Structure formats: C-alpha cells, structure tokens
Chain A
Amino acid sequence: MNCPSRGRENPELLLDYSAAKLPRQLAAELEAHLHECRACSELVAQQQAVWSALDLLAAPEVSATFDRELYNRIGQQDSWWSRLIRPIRPALVLWRGPLVAATCLVITAGIVLEFGVPQEHKATSVEIVQPEQVVHALDDIEMFESFDHSVPPASSIPEL
C-alpha cells in the first residue's frame, strides 16, 4: 500500500479507518502499513482522538412543542390557494424564473401607472426597496436552480 498521508492519493483511508468505516480487507492492509509508517500511525491516533472528542458535542433535547408548532404551521400554510395551485405546481416550478420576472414587471408597471412620475421622496423609497426584493427573489431562484443541476427540480430544495 502507498502511504496515504504522504502520497495524498487516498487521505480518506485514514479518516475512514479512524471512524471504523473501512471494509475489513482494506483495514487489514492499512494496519500492516501503520506498523511500519510513523506518520500514518500518528495521524490515525490523532484522528481517533478527534473522533472520540466529537462525541462530547451534545445537542439539547428537542422542545416538546416542536410537532404541535409544525403541524400548526402546516395547517396555516396548506391553505385553500395552495390546494388550488397543487395540480399546476410542477408547471409553476418549471416556469418560476419567467413567472417572477413577469411579476416584477407587472408590479413595476403598476407602480408607475399608479403614481405617474412620483414625487422625489416616493421615488426614492421605490428605488431603494424594489431592487432588493427583486435581487432576493432572483437570488433564491438562482440558488434553487444551482441545486437542480445534480438532482432534478422536483426533488431539489422545495420552495415555500
């Protein structure tokens, strides 16, 4: 076996061995190497110490109200309109980019039509808020789409 810590070909061998995740055959080969390689045996000893130390990282119990709050949120969010759009949701997921862009355009057009050429202070607030909202929306979409490259859209990060 090539030295995994020097060659850096399979450094994960040492991690997997320390976590007792290595298949028996490979573990035996590595053990033979550990007997003759000080660098690897030291790394394994240190890694095993880290592995045990991580067992100390406790996390608190989940609140007793967790499920109730979740079901409340589900009840609130699973409203009539979401039931209404459920049949066309896959199409919405597919067309979310153009839909958001179109929505932004409609909103912008609405503001322009409503206020005409706005007074200075109104124009300022529109200019400050709107780009942020659009950027946020586009950022979300971009994020979801980037996730979609390795897993198809339907099973990627679901939107709310």
Chain B
Amino acid sequence: MPPQPESLKGVETSVGGCAATLDYDTELMIQVREGHEASFGLLLEKHRSSVVHFLYRMVENQAVAEELAQEVFLRVYRSRSTYEPTAKFTTWLFRIATHLALNSLRDGKHERRQESLDNASDEAPSRQVSDSRPSAEALMVREAKMEEVRRAVAALPEKQRAAVLMHKYQEMDYAQIAKALHTSESAVKSLLFRAYETLRARLAHMG
C-alpha cells in the first residue's frame, strides 16, 4: 500500500523523539524499511525540492527533471526492504539522482533548455510596462545575469556540473560528492577546481 500524505502528521511526533545517533533522514529511511511507510512521505517532503532543482539544473528541462526525480523517489521506495545505512541518506539519494541525470544526458532523450526560462525572458518586457523604470531595468539586468550564469554552468562537462551543483546547492562535502559520483575525494577536488576555474573565467566579472 503506497504511503499517503494525510497520514504524515502522526508520524512526525513519534519520529521526532528519536535519539540522533544516526542522522534524521537515515532514521526515517530505516522506519520506511520497517514498514512505517508514512516516513517515506516525510523524506519526500524534505528532499523533493532539492532533488528536482538539482535535476533541473543538470538537464535544464523541468518536465524531464520531475520525471527523473519521481524515478529517484520510486527507487528509494522500492529498495526500502534492502536499505542499509552505510552512507548518509542524502549521499545515497543524490547518487541515484546523479546516476539518472548522467544517463538521461548520455541518452540525449530530451531537449535541454525549454519553456520555463524562455517564458521568464519573455515576461521581462511586459513587466516593464507596469513596473517603475528603475526596477524594470534592474529586473532586466538580473535576467541577463541569470542567463549568463545558466550558460556558464550548462557549458561545464556533465560530471563537473554535477559536482558543482552538489557542492554549491546541496552543501555536500568532498567525501559525499565523491560517493555520489563514484570517484575518489581527490578526483572530486580536481573536478571542482577545474569547474570553478572555468566559471571564474566566465563569471568573475559579475562580482
């Protein structure tokens, strides 16, 4: 029986009392393993946005990002019975997400860079009419900067991009990123150093 969001509130109290030898997410996942399926809802609630956002920044397509994110959580749920807390839950979660994102990019099954950002840039002129002139200009400058950042990140090789996204937005440490990318810590440091070197060349003038 799939977990239902309505039943989450009762679980929150019982889970909240757990002693924290393991991190909270791992505790929740162990509860999911033991049949407490509503704990899955708590994990979903907590990590839904970060997983979708990570995947969106990887594949640049909202529909594909959400499809992949659903597959990530589906895999988490389906593997609950064999789950062992050998790594931090988020490391495992982003390992699955990274694996799926890299596969999806490799297969090239989708168009990158679709509607949402295009719409955002289309919206700028219409806002210009109603907004006062300085804030409309500020908005356009901001849109242009966003686009520049987007292009710079999108131009990074896929593994470098994944490493930067986990380092910057998920605040994962080198060891966690290494596990997620199935590589060594020194390789991750080198990936990040090269990625930031490229980004500095393209974006440092924005400071």
Binding site for B on A (CB under 8 A): 11-12, 15, 19, 43, 45-54, 56-60, 62-63, 66-67, 69-71, 73-75, 77-78, 82, 86, 89-90, 93, 143, 146-147, 149-160
Check: B132 CB closer than 8 A to any chain A CB: no
Is B149 touching A71 in the complex (CB atoms < 8 A)?
A: no
Contact A160/B78 with A59-B53, A146-B182, A155-B86 known, Cβ cut-off 8 Å: yes
Q: B121 to chain A: which residues have CB within 8 Å? A: none
Q: Given A50-B203, A158-B96, do A57 and B71 touch, yes or no (CB 8 Å)? A: no
Instruction: Using known A-B contacts A11-B193, A52-B207, A151-B179, determine if residue A77 contacts B78 with beta carbons closer than 8 Å.
Output: yes
Q: What 5 pairs across the A-B complex have the smallest Cβ distances?
A: A49-B207, A158-B79, A46-B204, A59-B53, A154-B82
**Given contacts A50-B196, A56-B146, is CB(A67)–CB(B5) below 8 Å?**
yes
State which of B57, B70, B204 has its C-beta within 8 Å of the C-beta of A57. B57
Known: A47-B200, A155-B92. A12 touches B4 (CB 8 A): no
B123 CB to closest chain A CB, in angstroms? 13
Q: Report yes or no: A46 in contact with B2, Cβ–Cβ below 8 A.
A: no
CB within 8 Å of A: which B183-207 residues: 189, 192-193, 196, 199-200, 203-207
Is B83's beta carbon under 8 Å from chain A? yes
- Give the bracket for the number of chain B residues in contact with chain A: 35 or more
- Whole-angstrom distance between the Cβ of A69 and the nearest chain B Cβ: 6
Query: CA separation between A71 and B3, bound complex, in Å?
Result: 7
Consensus secondary structure, chain B interface: helix
Chain A residues, CB < 8 A from B5: 67, 71
B116-A155 in contact (CB<8A): no
Identify which of A57, A71, A154 contacts B146 (C-beta below 8 A). A57
User: Is B109 positioned at the interface, with any CB of A under 8 Å from its CB?
Assistant: no
CA distance A157 to B82 in the complex (A): 11
> 5 A-B residue contacts at CB 8 Å?
A47-B200, A78-B78, A150-B182, A154-B79, A159-B79
B36-75 vs A, CB cutoff 8 Å, 1 = contact: the mask equals 0000000010001100110011000010001001110111
CB distance from A85 to the nearest CB of B (A): 10
| Docked complex Cα distance between A19 and B86 (Å) | 28
Flag whether B16 is at the interface (Cβ < 8 A): no
A60 touches B62 (CB 8 A): yes
B149, A160: Cβ atoms closer than 8 Å: no
Q: Which residue of A lies closest to B49 (CB)?
A: A62
The interface residues of chain A lying within 8 Å CB-to-CB of B82 are: 89-90, 93, 153-155, 158
B2 touches A49 (CB 8 A): no
> Is B153 in the interface zone, CB < 8 Å from A?
yes
Q: What CA separation (Å) do A153 and B86 show in the bound complex? A: 10
- Verify A66–B74 contact, CB threshold 8 A: no
Chain A residues contacting B203 (CB-CB under 8 Å) are 49-50, 53
